[in-house]
Every structure is written in structure tokens, then in C-alpha cells.
Amino acid sequence: MEQICLRLYAREGQQHQRHLLSDWLLDSARQLGVAGGTVLRASAGFGRHGLQEDSFFELGGELPVIIELVLSQAQAEAMLALCAEQGLHLFYTRMSVTSGITV
């Protein structure tokens, strides 16, 4: 099945409406009818907030997380529109993917 892989990038401790942003995004995707999503925690990364990496001394929620959703084009557009409506300034990538279930 041809779908979209939407990846939203955030910081692990980032909050929105008194919830972790990653949890809020997963809940919002579920409400849009998305079948599933995954949050991946990075061990290191750099971007507009500089270099962050996991070490013995924890960074207190500053490591990058990726919220990955495989969804329809319409759901991807709705998710990005919701993020814009909520004033979230998140970097994202959107890729066409083929998905299925192994037999």
C-alpha cells in the first residue's frame, strides 16, 4: 500500500498543553485515525538547538526524539495543519513509502 512516512522532530522533554509533545502528537494522530505511531529517542543529534548527545550526565530532556507516523496523504496534511494551528514549530520530513504486513 502506498502511504506517507511523516517524521516530526522534537526534544524529548518538550511540552505542549501540559503533556509531553511526543505524547500529544501520538494522541492527535490517533484522533485523526492513524493506525499507529512510534517515538524514537536519539543518542545524539544536532540542529538548530546545537549538538546534544547522551552521556553519563543526563541532559534533562534535551535529546532529540522522532515521532514517526505512516499514514495517508490526507492524514499527513491534516497532521501538519494541526501542528501549524497549534503554533508548533517542528522540523519534519515526509516520504512516500510502501507498507504492508509480512505473511
Question: In the prediction, which pLDDT does 74 show?
Answer: 97
- Ordered DSSP codes for 43-91: SEEEETTEEEE--SS--SS-SEEEEEEEE-HHHHHHHHHHHHHTT---E
Question: In the prediction, which pLDDT does 64 show?
Answer: 87
Look-up of cell digits 490526507: 74
Residues of the chain with pLDDT under 70: 44-61
The alpha carbon of 67 is separated from its chain's Cα centroid by a whole number of angstroms, namely 2
> What CATH number is attached to the domain comprising 70?
3.30.70.120
pLDDT digits (tens, 9 = 90+) for 56-73: 555 556 788 999 999 999
Q: Which residues of 50-61 are buried (b: 16+ CB within 10 A; e: fewer)?
A: eebeeeeeeeee
* Total-model pTM: 0.83
Q: How far apart are CA 21 and CA 12, in angstroms?
A: 8
Question: In the prediction, which pLDDT does 66 show?
Answer: 96
Domain count, the chain: 1
Q: How far apart are CA 101 and CA 8, in angstroms?
A: 24
Q: Which domain holds residue 67?
A: 2-98
Confirm whether 67 is domain-assigned. yes
